[in-house]
Structures are given as C-alpha cells and as structure tokens.
Structure 1
Amino acid sequence: MTSPDVHDRITVIDLPKAWGLVVLRGVLAVLFGLLALVWPGLTALALALVFGIYALVDGIGLLVDAFRNPDKSNRGMRILGGILGVAAGVVAIVWPGITVAALAILVGAWALVTGITEIVAAFRLRKQIEGELLLGLAGLLSAIFGILVLLWPALGVAAIAAFIGVFSLIYGIVLIALGLRLRKLARQ
C-alpha cells in the first residue's frame, strides 16, 4: 500500500495529461450550445440527435478518464457519469422520437450526475492542483442545470434549446479554461 504522499504525487503528475480530453469536452459543449442557440427552432428529433452525439462523446471521455487516471478515489463516480452519458447518448440516438419531456428528464439526469461527479473531483483535487475551482464551478453549473431541467421538464422545445444552449456555452468555456490550466501545469 502506498502512502498518501506518493499517491498525491502520482495523481498530480498524471492529471495534466488529461488536459486535451477536458478541452475537447469543452469545445464540444460550446459547439452544442451554439447550435442550440443559433437554431432554437430545432425539432425534438434534431435536438435529441444532437444531444445524443454530445452525451455519447462526453460519456466516452469520462470513461476514458476514469480508467486512465490513476486516482481511484473518484473512479466510481466518473464511471457512473460516463455510463449515464453513453446510455443517454445511445437512447437519444436510437430513439430520437423521444418526447420533449422525456428528453428533458434524460438531459437533466445526465447533467445532475455529471455535476456531482465534477464537484466531488474538485474537492478531492483542491490540494493537488490550481484551478480546481473551475472544475467545481463546472460541476455546480451542471448540477443546477440538471435540477432545473428535472423540475420543469415540460418546457417547450425552443425554451429547452435556449436553456441547454446557454448552459452548454458556459459549461464548455469553463471546461476549456480548466483544460488550458491543466495544460500549463503539464508543461511545468
């Protein structure tokens, strides 16, 4: 069994390697947000497909991180978030005729679990890296968004698209900032 000091050093050394994955998640979130805002009249079908692709890629990213990151303390939450993301993506892609309310519940559940995972990770990383606040902020935004969507799933398609668009833009920008900070840490 390794001492906490050795474990912390290993995590700090390996964490910055994930910066590209974090930036990719952020860029995809920004693109998804822009699409939802620029094209608010998306049908539920198109919105479900676009969300499905985003959630699938994001879920795969979380699963890759869960198995590549040597920090096992938060692995279960990352695996849960990744599985939920992949499942939400597959359901939205395979069953694109999903109703707006069902899509909202799917999006809300995914955002809530992702947010909780990121908040937990930020708390665990606060002694190891600078910039954990950005991860915590991304998690808080995601969790709040998830709760709001779960509370009001019957909003119209345009309202859901705008809501998702604004959230995705902010969330993506925060993830990009975090990824760039991790990149800087990796170069040190």
Structure 2
Amino acid sequence: MNDHPLWQALGRHWKWIALRGIAAVLFGVLAIAWPGIALTVLVIVWGAYAFVDGVFTLIAAASMRESQRPIWPLWLVGALGVLAGLVAFFWPALTALGLLMLIAGWALATGVLQIVAAFRLRRSLANEWWLGLSGALSVLFGVLMIANPGAGAVAVVWVIGAYALFFGVLLILLALRLRKTSTFDA
C-alpha cells in the first residue's frame, strides 16, 4: 500500500516535515500568547516562520531528488516561503492589509499544492487525508483572510496563531505517520 516512490522518499525524510510542523506550532503559540504585538514585529516573526518553512521545504525537495517522481510542488512551496519571508524582512512596515494579503496568498498557494499532492498520493497512501486536510485548512484560511481583511489586529493575530497551530499539528501528525511507515518498510 505504501510502496509509492514519493511516499517512500517522504518517509525517509519525515524529519523535515516534522520540523515544519514544529515551527508552525511555535509561531502559533507566540502569536496567541502575545496578541497585542506590533504589526512590524508580527511581520518579522511571520517572515522568519515563512523563511524557515521555505528552507525546510527546499531541503526536503533537494533530499528527494533521487525519487524520480515530480516534486515540483515542494520546490514551489519552498521558494514561495523563502520569498514571502524575505519580503517580510525587507519591508516590515507593510500595512495590515498588505500583511493579510501576503499571508492569504501564501496560505492559498500552499494549500492548493498540498491538496494536489494528496490527490496524487491517494492510491498509494493510506492516510493521505492528513496532507489534504492541511491543504484544505490553508485554503480556507486564505479565503477567510481575503474575504474579511478589516478584522481587528488582535483577532487577526489570534486567527493567524490558530491557523499556524492547526497547520503545524497536522504536519506533525503527517510526519509521525511517515516515520511509522518508513520504520515499518525499512
């Protein structure tokens, strides 16, 4: 059932997915714990998270080159994360609307690409819905951010924190599933 080459490659490199999840959970906890932080600090903290997430994703993609499977979604998600992080670092005085649209666009792109990956793995992966669910959560979050950009700053920070927590937990659960499969198949 789990003999798909991409699943095996993901299983061998499950730690990078776990690190993405841990980074998301840490960001979420910080955002919820300090909802009154200044927008500039939020931009920088989110930028650090997006950059680290992008780097981990690019490392995972580079590590899986030998799988002979298309891994372009990982390359694209990683590049978008690094780019979003750099934009946040170099222009931290973005307006609240600009920040919301930046995060919303990143969440939409990440979500769509994760849903695509889940569909591609559905025949060879028993619990691909973890990946699909994290993608759907990202898409929903992005749509909500675009539909209601005028929300209060504290509410926005809490929503961003909650999104990061749920997204991170789902990635950690996926990583644990990958580790279990990798250990079992080894």
**Common fold: TM-score over 0.5:** yes
Q: Secondary structure at the match of 1:154?
A: coil
Deviation at 1:41, TM superposition (A): 0.3
**1:95 alignment partner in structure 2:** 91
Equivalent residue letter for 1:136 = G
Deviation at 1:159, TM superposition (A): 1.4
Q: Secondary structure at the match of 2:124?
A: coil
RMSD (Å), alpha carbons: 1.5
List per-residue Cα deviations over 1:39-69 (Å, max 9, x = no partner): 0001101100110000001111222233332
**1:3 alignment partner in structure 2:** none
Q: How many residues align?
A: 180
CA distance in 2: counterparts of 1:84 and 1:33, whole angstroms: 20
Equivalent residue letter for 2:8 = I
The question of whether the paired residues in 2 share the 8 Å contact of 1:135 and 1:178 is answered with yes
Q: Secondary structure at the match of 1:144?
A: helix
Query: Relative to 1, partners in 2 of residues 1:103 and 1:132: Cα closer, same or farther, differing over 3 Å?
Result: same
CA distance in 1: counterparts of 2:56 and 2:111, whole angstroms: 15
CA distance in 2: counterparts of 1:85 and 1:156, whole angstroms: 25
- 1:72 equivalent to 2:97? Answer no
Equivalent residue letter for 1:16 = G
**1:147 alignment partner in structure 2:** 143
Equivalent of 1:34 in 6, 25, 29: 29
The question of whether the paired residues in 2 share the 8 Å contact of 1:42 and 1:157 is answered with no
- 1:109 equivalent to 2:105? Answer yes
Deviation at 1:72, TM superposition (A): 3.4
Deviation at 1:179, TM superposition (A): 0.4
Query: Relative to 1, partners in 2 of residues 1:141 and 1:72: Cα closer, same or farther, differing over 3 Å?
Result: same
**2:175 alignment partner in structure 1:** 179
**1:5 alignment partner in structure 2:** none
CA distance in 1: counterparts of 2:17 and 2:68, whole angstroms: 16
* Identity across matched positions, percent: 43
Deviation at 1:140, TM superposition (A): 0.4
Deviation at 1:9, TM superposition (A): 4.2
Deviation at 1:71, TM superposition (A): 5.2
The runs of 5 or more residues in structure 1 that have no matched partner are: 1-7
Equivalent residue letter for 2:112 = I
The runs of 5 or more residues in structure 2 that have no matched partner are: none
Equivalent residue letter for 1:33 = G
- 1:119 equivalent to 2:115? Answer yes
Query: Relative to 1, partners in 2 of residues 1:125 and 1:102: Cα closer, same or farther, differing over 3 Å?
Result: same
CA distance in 2: counterparts of 1:121 and 1:152, whole angstroms: 28
The question of whether the paired residues in 2 share the 8 Å contact of 1:100 and 1:156 is answered with no
Deviation at 1:17, TM superposition (A): 1.4
TM-score w.r.t. the length of structure 2 is: 0.91
CA distance in 2: counterparts of 1:143 and 1:9, whole angstroms: 26
**1:45 alignment partner in structure 2:** 40
The question of whether the paired residues in 2 share the 8 Å contact of 1:102 and 1:153 is answered with no
**1:133 alignment partner in structure 2:** 129
